[in-house]
Amino acid sequence: MILKKYGPILFLLLLLLHCLSIAFEWSEIRFFSKLALVPFLMFILAAFNGLSFKNQSWLPWLGLLGAFAGDWLLATPGEIYFLLGMLGFMTTHVCNSLYFLKLQPLQPGKLKPAMIAMIVLVIFCSLIVFQIKDQLGTMLLPIMAYMGIISLMTILAANLAASESLNRNAIKYFIPGAAFFVASDGLLALNKFLLHNRNFDIPVMITYGLAILLLTLGFVNTAWLAKKIPSNGSRG
């Protein structure tokens, strides 16, 4: 099937089209190409895994739906839509967090990757907040809540590296995917509340597109791994 063989490349071409639409101010193409990103990844996920909702496999689907809702709402002007868009992406991060936690629970003696991620995130988020805190006003609490949830997702993605069976997928897909998500949202926050530079929209979308692509490929490969490795009651 075409999506199995060329899906990631086609997605990157769609992302390139979206970035070109930002650069050349093709407003209609920009709107529809952005809304096409997540559904395209859903087709890729379905091509590899089918529409399976057994065990925790429904969580990536709900997470992608949250991202699609977030994309739609953030494309609509107005503070209320920005807040609702944040809720959409918070749904994504909660679903991904639960998925990662089910794959690899936090275990004493295996917390080094999670602790390293936590330290890096505290530094990164503190730097972002320090830059924009005076401009946030009533948005301070929602932004802090969002940072907390996306940081938890990233910590749990890093925790997958503590598992022998999941280490490869964590390093190849989940950890960089989560890191790109954090980077994208950090750039978005800086641009929305401080810089107000239209040119920043392109790196925001590049990092976001890479984030959702890598996470989806992680879901695909983890489902494949689960079929190949007999369950022994633990991923550790």
Find out whether 158 and 114 touch, Cβ atoms under 8 Å.
yes
- Per-residue pLDDT reduced to its tens digit, 146-193: 999 999 999 999 999 999 999 999 999 999 999 999 999 999 999 999
Residues with Cβ < 8 Å from 197, sequence gap 6 or more?
A: 191
- Per-residue pLDDT reduced to its tens digit, 48-101: 877 766 655 789 999 999 999 999 999 999 999 999 999 999 999 999 999 999
- Look at residue 197 and give its three-state secondary structure: coil
CB count within 10 Å of CB 235 equals 19
φ/ψ bin of 73: left (φ > 0), alpha (ψ from -120 to 50), beta (otherwise): alpha
pTM of the full structure: 0.92
